[in-house]
Chain A
Amino acid sequence: MGDKPAIPRSPHRTADPWFVRYALVGMTLAIVGVLIGVPLAAVFSYAFANGLGAYWGNLVNNADTRHAIFLTMVVAPVAVALNVVFGIAAAWVIARFRFPGRSILTTLIDLPFSVSPVVAGLLFVLIFGMNAPLGEWLREHGYRVIFAPPGIVLATAFVTFPFVARELIPMMEAVGPEEELAARSLGASGWQLFWRITLPNIKWGLLYGVILCNARAMGEFGAVYVVSGRIGGQTDTIPIQVQKLFDTPGPNGLPAAFALASVLTLLALVTLIAKVLIEPKLRGVDADAAVMPIREEATG
């Protein structure tokens, strides 16, 4: 957002004195450096403290760590796929039609942003867990949800479902229905309309939403912590395993925790680079959709 063309203004009347400028820039560098730069550098420094071999060993020699990586690679894509289907359906309905309850639906989509992840996890324990009628019924029929991968998928999907929908709604609204109406009047079927017109129009927003959703899904901690039961080698995801390694007594726990954390950090950095690359493509389309950006930025 910071690279808008500078407002032309006469430098003498509205420029800040040099010492104010230097002080504020210095403080900015210090703030971002201490809060973000140093921790990022520290993740990789601690991870590689004992050399590349030890780093790799920390990632692949521990069976629980290997399983955590595997589980996260399975759970996150499933949750993202569920949320893509939901995001497209919700955005189509909200951006293209007016109906009673539309604003309630929009508010509901924001809900996970204001629910503590722990509470989110608890909700699923209460419905699918022990002593819950639905959970008991499912267990009698051989399905385990809580303390098993399905529960982790549900909790992850809950925490991340706004991301795709929130990207798509302003984008579809900005594109407008004209092309779709034209295609319809020329006899296109519903699916032709979707694959040939709607999807190409929203593809960058969709990709952006998927990337944000995936980053959040792979890193989700609180909700997974509650529903997974933290069974080593079975229901631990990468973030939970990081915490277990951190709590491991002895000198080996911390480097191993940082090695695994560096994988997630790398994912976050890739996400941000993708964001920087995709954002200009988004701006071309929704330059006029000025209602959403503040919240969108803040929550994305």
Chain B
Amino acid sequence: MQGVSRRALPGFGLGLGYTIFYLSILVLLPLAACAWKAASLGPREFLAAVWSERAQAAYTLTFSVAAMAAVANVFLGLIVAWSLVRYSFPGKRLVDALVDVPLALPTAVAGLVYATLYMNNGWLGQFLVPLGIAAAYTKLGIVLVLIFTGFPFVVRTVQPVLADLDAEVEEAASVLGASRWQTFRRVLLPTLIPPAITGFALAFARGLGEYGSVIFISSNMPFQTEIAPVLIVSRLEEFAYAEAAAIAVALLAISFAVLALINVLERWSQRHG
């Protein structure tokens, strides 16, 4: 879309002024306050807050559970997207609509119901716990709720790409003698990888910051099941504001790196898609 001359339409000054004012109050000022607070620690104290053993354990856990959930979501999402685009089956429209539930359902509800379902006497826990699969209050439970919160991303990035694929390419492959599996691996999969990676990154980014659902199902024990946002909250509750700000700065830096990566991936997949 072309831009319009600032004289042709009104409201540029008012609109831009208000936008900048609103973003300043809501985003820029608070970010500056956080940086200021974190900087009030000396370099050594900052490092001590950001890189304590407890913080390291929290980052490691946050990273690993978010990555595990995002990887699981790539596989689950590819299966679901493929079935929704390629096959017709009873209840397909309902399944398609249900995929969006994690985007609309408050995370606290997800955490509450997952924790209850997988407890010893829960609907699923009563079968799984005797088999040695304990999800409530464990790392497995955190991965499970993160799979839930990140589930729509891969499905929704892969689905449109799969729907827009040219049938002729597949037909050409099969006419030239490729088996169905070869066609999938050599022709279809390369097209699906870029959107799947975008979906992975979105699910991963979401998992890194997730809090509401996790605190229900995790025991939130330091060094064991304490994710980074929980650590920030417990620093706050100790009134250690500067330390909390320092960990927040570290987390923000990671989030921005992931955001930048997503943008690069999107540009890359638009070129190769």
A296 to B83 Cα, complex, angstroms: 22
Rounded to whole angstroms, the CA-CA distance of A161 and B229 in the bound complex is 21
Are A261 and B97 in contact, CB atoms less than 8 angstroms apart?
Answer: no
Residues of chain A in range 224-242 having any CB-CB distance to chain B below 8 Å: 225-226, 239-240, 242
Q: Which residues from chain A contact B251 at a C-beta distance below 8 Å?
A: 116, 119
Do residues B80 and A219 form an inter-chain contact, with CB atoms below 8 A? no
Cβ of B48 < 8 Å from any Cβ of A? no
Q: Does B43 contact A (CB under 8 A)?
A: no
| Number of chain B residues close to chain A: CB under 8 A | 109
A122 and B244 within 8 A (CB): yes
A194 to B9, CA, bound (A): 11
Q: Which residues of A contact B98 (CB under 8 A)?
A: 32, 36-37, 40
Q: Hey, which chain B residues are within 8 Å of A16, CB to CB? A: 86, 180
Instruction: Give B37-79 interface residues, CB cut-off 8 Å to A.
Output: 37, 76, 79
User: Smallest Cβ distance from A8 to chain B, in angstroms?
Assistant: 7
Q: Is B131 an interface residue (CB 8 A)?
A: no
* Chain B positions within 8 Å of A39 at CB level: 110, 113-114, 117, 148
Q: For residue A55, give the distance in angstroms from its CB to the closest CB of chain B.
A: 16
Q: How near does chain A come to B100, taking the closest CB pair, in angstroms?
A: 6
B226 to chain A, nearest CB (A): 13
B114 touches A268 (CB 8 A): no
In chain A between 194 and 233, which residues have their CB closer than 8 angstroms to a CB of chain B?
Answer: 194, 212, 215, 218-222, 225-226
Could you say which residues of chain B place their CB within 8 Å of the CB of A265? 105, 109
Measured CA separation A80–B89 after assembly (Å): 38
- Chain A residue with Cβ nearest B81: A2
B211 touches A28 (CB 8 A): no
For B222, list chain A residues within 8 Å (CB).
Answer: none
A117 touches which one: B14, B113, B211 (CB < 8 A)? B211
Contact B112–A89 (Cβ < 8 Å): no
What separation, in Å, do the CA atoms of A29 and B124 have in the docked complex?
17
User: Could you give, for residues 265-276 of chain A, a 1 whenever the CB lies within 8 Å of some chain B CB and a 0 otherwise?
Assistant: 100110110011
Contact indicator B229/A222 (Cβ below 8 Å) = yes
Contacts A24-B82, A98-B3, A117-B211 hold; do A226 and B236 have CB atoms under 8 A apart? yes
CB of A293 closer than 8 Å to a CB of B: yes
8 chain-A/chain-B pairs, Cβ below 8 angstroms: A2-B163, A8-B167, A24-B83, A116-B255, A118-B211, A119-B252, A129-B241, A219-B105
